[in-house]
Amino acid sequence: MNESNPLGTAILFHLGPLALTSTVLTTWGVMLILWLASRLVMRGLHLQPGPWQTAAEGIIETISAVIGELLTPQQARQVLPFVATLWIYLVLANLVGLIPGLHSPTADLSATSALALLVFLSVHWFGIRANGLRAYLRHYLTPTPLLLPFHLISEITRTVALAVRLFGNIMSLEMAALLILWVAGLLAPVPILMLHIVEALVQAYIFGMLALIYIAGGLQSQQLRQQKEAP
């Protein structure tokens, strides 16, 4: 805990060449909570579910239904772990900032960039798995090779936009709450904290939905081309 950046992301200690910041520790905490909750809820799975199992099944069924609106059932089953983990993790990570003394991992550009990078890679990973490398790369040349630069720029900018949008919203909320606390007193930031809850859920939904749309675009590009070529 000997170094800190201006936005409160403190480097707590070094582990070899890696600097462990509060963002990483908070992420580990979130991961631990999710793992323990999973173990706790899934310890007694039955066909006749209890309240916690019902809630867990409801979460997964809802996410599956949303994914199923865009993808085939087989593709949805492949994509579900990534997209569902994004939504669940982002909800928890965004709400961590409400706890005094803790900062949301998503208020750190490094964390949101890492997630955006994973979304970027997953789009290509799922697209190549579904269509093959050549077919997948061919969609950058459609409808005309002239659009290839724009496709490439789009890939980069939408990834950067993902990272910056989430980082900017969550960081600004925490910053606003902190400033109001400094200026107005103890209970003044409460409306801002309530807004933080809504914003955390909305931003998690937007990030996950955009990731799903990008992945679905990569999966369905080849299918659309095949449908057009079909007699």
Q: Among residues 30 and 222, whose Cβ is nearest to another protein?
A: 30
Q: Among residues 93 and 221, whose Cβ is nearest to another protein?
A: 93
Give the list of residues 6+ apart from residue 152 with CB closer than 8 angstroms, or none: 140
CA distance 74 to 89: 24
Dihedral (CA of 124, 129, 130, 133) sign: positive
Q: Among residues 17 and 143, whose Cβ is nearest to another protein?
A: 17
Nearest distance in Å: CB 63, another protein? 9
Q: Among residues 9 and 75, whose Cβ is nearest to another protein?
A: 9
What are the DSSP calls for 7-55, one per residue? TS-EEEEEETTEEEEHHHHHHHHHHHHHHHHHHHHHTT--SS--HHHHH
CA distance 65 to 68: 5
Which residues of this chain interact with another protein, rule CB under 8 A? 5-7, 9, 11, 17-21, 23-24, 27-28, 31, 34-35, 38-39, 41-42, 45-47, 49, 53, 56-57, 60-61, 77, 80-82, 84-85, 88-89, 105, 108-111, 113-115, 117-118, 167, 171
Nearest distance in Å: CB 199, another protein? 19
End-to-end Cα distance, the chain: 66
Nearest distance in Å: CB 33, another protein? 11
Residue written as token pair 């998690």: 204
Nearest distance in Å: CB 101, another protein? 19
Write out the two tokens for 47: 């066909």
Nearest distance in Å: CB 204, another protein? 14
